[in-house]
Amino acid sequence: MPWTTVQLADLQRQAEAAQRAVPVPSPCRNVCRMDAAGGWCEGCLRTIDEIAAWSNATEADKRRIWASLPGRAQQLAGSGTMPPQ
């Protein structure tokens, strides 16, 4: 089953909350599998470079990454890719 409207809305809410959070939380969902086609982690939708840099990233960089996640999920939703369980 592809990404649902509810799952996409939940990710959008989390991304918006991350813009106000101090410190910015990690989007990690403990589903650590890299999608070869998209180059994103199937759990958190970050690239391997974003994951590797997270602990040293500035709060602004973390917020930028969070802001990109709903768009990545929308791309996956359009392709029919399932979200991780």
Q: What is the pLDDT of residues 68-78, one digit of tens each?
A: 999 988 887 77
- Count CA atoms closer than 13 A to 11's CA, side-chain side: 25
Q: How confident is the model at residue 27 (pLDDT cuts 50, 70, 90)?
A: very high
CA 29 to centroid of chain Cα atoms: 9
Q: Where do the domains of the chain lie?
A: 5-79
What percentage of the chain reaches a pLDDT higher than 70? 88
Beta-ladder partners of 26 = none
Query: CA dist 38 to 10, 21, 72, Å?
Result: 21, 28, 9
Confidence (pTM): 0.85
